[in-house]
Amino acid sequence: MPTPSEQDIRQALATVIDPEIRRPITDLDMVESIEVGEAGAVTVSILLTVPGCPLKDQLERDVKMALASLGGVGLVTVKMGTMSEEQRHALQVKLRGPEVAIQFNDPASKTRVIAIASGKGGVGKSSVTANLAVALAAQGLAVGVLDADIYGFSMPRMLGVIDEPTQMEEMILPPVSHGVKVFSIGMLVPPGQPVVWRGPVLHRAIQQFLTDVYWGDLDVLLADLPPGTGDVALSIAKLLPSSELILVTTPQPAAAEVAQRAGALALQTHQPIVGVVENMSGLPQPDGSVLPLFGEGGGQQVADNLAGAIGGPVPLLGRIPLDIALREGGDTGEPVVVSRPDTPAAAAFRAIAAAVTGRGLPA
């Protein structure tokens, strides 16, 4: 079998995706050189974006696997180097352009930005965000999660994020977990340390999360907001004027009243309301009945009242039943849609993801 040419090898390497940036390594100018020797021996020099890249072993495996599919290739040797400061800067400009801006506000952006909000804490807003993100990724969408709950951040734990963000010049590459890109202030502060920031600092922090983090070509960005209608909710609306809103409530009338006030903020910020999610919607019983521990009808009440206020439809996207597996998944970093896909809670999240995208449930 003839030895492959350098062009053949480069084409094979074009199938290797950088695990952090999620683009082919050939597009990112990471392939420094290719040498083809006797008996089909191939030596590839790869330039890592930063020294000590935590995913270099995965990258080496992927390169060898891609070249193994070529006929005539013998021994493959992968040499790892590091980009120079000039090369990193050139890559940063290539990815983000010469000027730093919020990519989602570009008229050419195809990313749908959805803020997940609640009127009060304790209704499971972050659990909904994490599971909805993974359910959307399971549909084949490119999904990101911005943990905008600065004081009560929880996305790193709920999504089982292990790797730290990678700093490349002035750009941050977010880690990926369960197929979802995730960024949170919780990745930058020591464990147990509180974040004590006031309004203007919060606004600048959210702005930096949107400009300095390289999110890439996302289909959906979910922003997990803190409860209520405070500074962060207003900053998201201002910084992302095309963002939409999903409201999370429980069936309890008291929670529904507070959630409705949070939804009413959308009238002032001009954010379209995607719909309402009712969490903790009853406890399934062995006989098939459902025990309404937190009452009934809160989600539909919020949806109906907001529809009347805005003069348009606000759907109840779904009801999430109480489920121990859902709570356990949030603690272990294995969302229930991954850890227990056969549960009613997981099915409810898949249905909500289908309602959000209009794609229908997967076969």
Q: What distance in Å separates the CA atoms of residue 323 and residue 321, rounded to the nearest whole number?
A: 6
User: Does 58 score more than 60 pLDDT?
Assistant: yes
**Local confidence band at 45 (pLDDT 50, 70, 90 cut-offs):** very high
Q: Is the pLDDT of residue 363 over 60?
A: no
Token output for 187: 């990745």
Per-residue pLDDT at 99 exceeds 80:
no
DSSP string, 32-73: EEEEE-GGG-EEEEEEESSTT-TTHHHHHHHHHHHHHTSTT-
- The 3-class secondary structure across 121-163, one letter per residue, is CCCCHHHHHHHHHHHHHHCCCCEEEEECCCCCCCHHHHCCCCC
3-class secondary structure, 13: helix
215 with 298, same domain? yes
- Could you tell me if 133 and 207 lie in one domain? yes
Q: Which of 11, 86, 81, 72 is nearest to 42 (CA)?
A: 72
Q: What is the mean pLDDT of residues 60-72?
A: 91
Q: Lay out the sheet containing 42-48: strands in order across.
A: 31-36, 42-48, 76-82
What is the C-alpha to C-alpha distance for residues 207 and 277, in angstroms, rounded to an integer?
A: 27
- Asked whether residue 133 falls in the same domain as residue 73, the answer is no
pLDDT digits (tens, 9 = 90+) for 10-31: 999 999 999 888 899 999 999 9
Tell me the DSSP string of 211-246: HTB---S-SEEEEEPPSSSSHHHHHHHHH-TT-EEE
Model confidence, pTM:
0.85
Confidence at residue 166, expressed as pLDDT on a 0 to 100 scale: 87
Least confidently predicted of 65-74, 241-250, 342-351: 65-74
**148-194: per-residue pLDDT in tens?**
999 889 999 999 998 889 888 788 999 999 999 999 998 988 777 77
In a domain, 249, yes or no: yes
How do the residues of the chain divide into helix, strand and coil, expressed in percent and rounded to 5?
40, 20, 40
| pLDDT tens-digit readout, 219-268 | 999 999 998 878 899 999 999 999 999 999 999 888 888 888 888 888 88
Specify the pLDDT at position 361: 52
User: How many Cβ atoms from other residues are within 10 Å of residue 162's Cβ?
Assistant: 10
pLDDT tens digit string along 186-232?
Answer: 898 877 777 877 778 888 999 999 999 999 999 999 999 998 878 89
Nearest residue to 314 (alpha-carbon basis) of 266, 242, 350: 266
Domain boundary among 96, 111, 142: 96
pLDDT computed for residue 81 by the predictor: 93
Residue 363 maps to a domain: no
The answer to whether residue 291 is domain-embedded is: yes
pLDDT of residue 120: 84
Judge whether 14 lies within some domain. Answer: yes
Cα three-residue angle 253-254-255, rounded to 5 degrees: 90
- Residues 192 and 209 reside in one and the same domain: yes
Mean pLDDT of 295-316: 90
Q: Are residues 76 and 213 in the same domain?
A: no
Q: What is the mean pLDDT of the chain?
A: 90
Query: Residue 180 has which token pair?
Result: 């979802």
Domain count, the chain: 2
Contact 76, 42 (CB under 8 A): yes
Domain containing 70 — which CATH number?
3.30.300.130
Domain presence at residue 362: no
111-133 confidence digits (pLDDT tens): 999 999 998 888 999 999 999 99
Query: Token pair 């493959």 is at which residue?
Result: 76
Q: Which range marks the domain in which residue 24 is found?
A: 6-96
> For the residues 268-291, what does the mean pLDDT come to?
90
Query: Does the pLDDT at position 305 exceed 60?
Result: yes
pLDDT at position 300:
93
- CATH number of the domain encompassing residue 325: 3.40.50.300
- Verify that 62 and 91 share a domain, yes or no: yes
Q: Is residue 66 part of a domain?
A: yes
Strand pairing category for 31-36 and 42-48: antiparallel
Query: Are both 346 and 223 inside the same structural domain?
Result: yes
Q: 298 by DSSP, 3-state: which? A: helix
Q: What is the pLDDT of residue 206?
A: 93
Per-residue pLDDT, 362: 47
Q: Which residue has the tokens 């920031």?
A: 197
Separation between Cα atoms, residue 13 and residue 94, nearest integer Å: 19
Domain boundary among 76, 96, 116: 96
Q: Answer with the one of 37, 67, 96 that is the final residue of a domain.
A: 96
Q: Classify residue 16 by its DSSP letter.
A: P
Interval 317-342 mean pLDDT: 95
pLDDT for 310 equals 84
pLDDT of residue 52: 73
